[in-house]
Structure 1
Amino acid sequence: MSAYADERPERGRRARPGRGRWALAVVIVAVPLALALLGPLFAGAPGPRATSFTLGGGHWLGTDFVGRDVWRQILLGGRPVVLTALAATALGYLVALPIGLIAALTHRGWLEELLMRPLDILLAVPSLLLILLVATVFTPGAAGLALLVALANIPDAARLVRAAAAEAASRPAVEAMRMQGETWWRMGVGYVGRSILRTLAADAGIRLTGVLYLVATAAFLGVGVAPDAADWAVMVDRNRTGLFVQPWAVVVPALLIVALTTGGNLLFDAALDHARRPETKGARPEKKMGKRT
């Protein structure tokens, strides 16, 4: 009985950080996501423009560099950043996942070389430089920016998928499925793909943060968005000249971008901890038996 009593406080201490991390992640992510997705519904019609970089006067966050209400720009400016980042991340994985799985499962060396070597060339070019080089040829919109960012992330994501899937692809179960004539879909997606889900989930949090950084930086440099567009990253760029006069026009959108990236990482970390918890519970009965003996 004492062994069980000794374990209970430790078990409670282990459970609390997981719940606390979930709560913290949800709170941090909820604010920028709610503003990004629901903000345009409450933005209302644009009012008359006031003097640039002023505080007060009916604008509780002041005005921006052209006299627009900062709060209204914040309500409108989150959706382009969030949707572009999510679309770019999803498109990147949509291409990188089959490339990595095929490269890990194939026994044909030439096919693996054909798939991976062109990606190595792209990987050698810095992502932001690639975006800027393409942007000099044509002016991309929001959809074009999402495609560019996805293209910049495909090589790294494909290499990670291939490395994670290589171990699962060499298991006897895969060889048995191959001998039984199972389809590639069953082997590659049904077995190998499912075995690397945790690795992909961990990578998704980091990659989404990197994509948000690229999208925000590209918007900061004027790629994919108009210079006066309602966009959090553009707000940081265009209003920085009045930082010491009207700081809210820069500080608030910058904090929202930081909260979105930080909260996203915390949310994925909490999901991984929750996924590991059944394995930890399964190991406890053996410890209890050892203590009884």
Structure 2
Amino acid sequence: MSTGRPKRLPPGQAVLGAALIAVPLLLAVAGPWLAGEPGPRGVSFTTGGGHWLGTDFTGRDVWRQVLLGGRSVVVTASAATAAAYLIALPIGLAAALTHRAWLEELLMRPWDVVLAVPSLLLMLMAAALFTPSAAGLVLIVALVNVPDAVRIVRAGAAEAASRPAVEAMRMQGEGWWRMAAGYVGRSMLRTLVADAGVRLTGALYLVATAAFLGVGVAPDAADWAVMVDHNRTGLFVQPWAVVVPAVLIVALTTGTNLLFDALLASRARGGSGGKEARRDVPARGTR
């Protein structure tokens, strides 16, 4: 039986998470400035020959592609996660704070329809209908994440929205923004922190999947996910072109989860020890 106390994570978990994401983030930020000018292309899938990690399927230097390929993955996933919350937060908070059942249904039910469509199907549809576009990829990944994010925000805000303090603020004529962001939003920060780690990790995987499908990323782009996809045919001849970008993606996603878990545990230990804001099943209107 649970004691209600926040789970204490191993003290080294945050350090491990930071160590895992340090290299991918450093490469994503500084890599393009360190890459230099492209040299002449060599033979496909070779090792040595002046190339530290060999060459890829088109004869390009793998190390240079690694330096160039992280920014698109990190920026796209981060932008998509931020866009998902920009949409989900006002909708979820409005649904939690309203006393009108019809308005709550109007806000929540359309996202249930989107949630029923598999994310892979959305990616395939986008690949068939649109030309590669970074902005389009951000929009697609955000759209895939919005339904879950709306439900999490709605569920996390429901308990705080039912407190007497919110009713008192209504009676005093406080504005909606002050109630939603100033009180309800602040009360569910732990929920948002926990969900943000999951959402960002999911966005990273979706961005990588989209690159495999050719959505939002040009086939010859310097991108870690594209490198894994296009170089896999030479895995047993020149493995570094696949192994290095794959390890960087895994390190980035795993480290992100570990860091967010550690941050959540730290906030829980320093918090009031009250009820957890997050609910697995929303209170009403979102079943």
Q: Same fold (TM over 0.5)?
A: yes
Aligned equivalent of 1:17: 10
Q: What are the Cα deviations for residues 91-114 of structure 1, in whole angstroms up to 9, with x where unaligned?
A: 000000100000000011111111
Deviation at 1:16, TM superposition (A): 9.3
Q: What are the Cα deviations for residues 135-165 of structure 1, in whole angstroms up to 9, with x where unaligned?
A: 3222141111001110111111001100111
- Looking at structure 2, the residues matched to 131 and 196 of structure 1 have their Cα atoms a distance apart, in angstroms, of 31
Structure 2, unpaired ranges of 5+? 1-6, 274-287
Structure with greater contact order relative to length (CA < 8 Å, sep ≥ 6): 2
Which of 60, 75, 80 is the equivalent residue of 2:72? 80
Aligned equivalent of 1:11: none
Structure having the higher helix fraction is 1
- Looking at structure 2, the residues matched to 16 and 139 of structure 1 have their Cα atoms a distance apart, in angstroms, of 45
Q: What are the Cα deviations for residues 260-282 of structure 1, in whole angstroms up to 9, with x where unaligned?
A: 0000001101111211223599x
- Looking at structure 1, the residues matched to 132 and 47 of structure 2 have their Cα atoms a distance apart, in angstroms, of 35
Which of 238, 261, 265 is the equivalent residue of 2:257? 265
Deviation at 1:15, TM superposition (A): 8.9
Aligned equivalent of 2:268: 276
**Aligned-partner residue type, residue 188 of structure 1:** A
Which of 109, 122, 128 is the equivalent residue of 2:114? 122
- Looking at structure 1, the residues matched to 31 and 91 of structure 2 have their Cα atoms a distance apart, in angstroms, of 38
Aligned equivalent of 1:286: none
Aligned equivalent of 1:144: 136
Which of 9, 34, 38 is the equivalent residue of 1:42? 34
Deviation at 1:117, TM superposition (A): 1.0
- Looking at structure 2, the residues matched to 274 and 178 of structure 1 have their Cα atoms a distance apart, in angstroms, of 33
Structure 1 position 153 matched with structure 2 position 145: yes
Q: For the pair shown, which has the larger CA radius of gyration, 1 or 2? A: 1
Aligned equivalent of 1:213: 205
Percent of aligned pairs sharing the same letter: 75
Aligned equivalent of 2:57: 65
Structure 1 position 184 matched with structure 2 position 176: yes
Deviation at 1:211, TM superposition (A): 0.6
Deviation at 1:178, TM superposition (A): 0.7
Q: How many residues align?
A: 267
Structure 1, unpaired ranges of 5+? 1-13, 282-293
TM-score by structure 2 length? 0.90
Deviation at 1:131, TM superposition (A): 2.4
Q: What are the Cα deviations for residues 162-205 of structure 1, in whole angstroms up to 9, with x where unaligned?
A: 01111110011111111111110111110000011100100110
What SS does the corresponding residue of 2:147 show, helix, strand or coil? helix
**Aligned-partner residue type, residue 35 of structure 2:** A
Q: What are the Cα deviations for residues 47-102 of structure 1, in whole angstroms up to 9, with x where unaligned?
A: 00000000000101000000000000000000000000000000000000100000
Aligned equivalent of 1:53: 45
Moved beyond 6 Å, runs of 4+ = none
